[in-house]
Amino acid sequence: MITLTHYLIVSAGLFCIGLYVILAKQNAVQILIGIELMLNAAILNLVAFSKFDKLNNSGQTFALFTIVLAAASTAVALAIVLNVYRRYRTIDPGKVNQLKD
């Protein structure tokens, strides 16, 4: 029997993988992937928790919104990455550190 707990464990695992990718990878695209992973973990949770709202399916609705938003933000982020690459000839976020004083 697959319970809510199993969903949550999978989701947490996904989230952690995403987090790890964001923190550890030196490639902006990979980081974007990591972000997607974390978003998916959140979506999974939304879907899983929607069992407490069977009438409105609000979980599923939010998941759909989130997917759309994620796609949009990824598009924007990829555009930034592309621009960063043009400017710095790298997409390693560690090397793009001009914000520091």
Q: Taking Cα atoms as reference points, which of 31, 22, 59 lies closest to residue 43?
A: 59
CA distance 6 to 11: 8
Question: Interface with another protein includes 23 (CB under 8 A)?
Answer: yes
User: Per rule CB under 8 A, is residue 93 in the interface with another protein?
Assistant: yes
CB 90 within 8 A of CB 96: yes
Site for another protein contains 81 (CB under 8 A):
no
19 binds another protein (CB under 8 A): yes
Size of the residue set binding another protein (CB under 8 A): 13
Q: Which is nearer to another protein, 32 or 63 (CB)?
A: 32
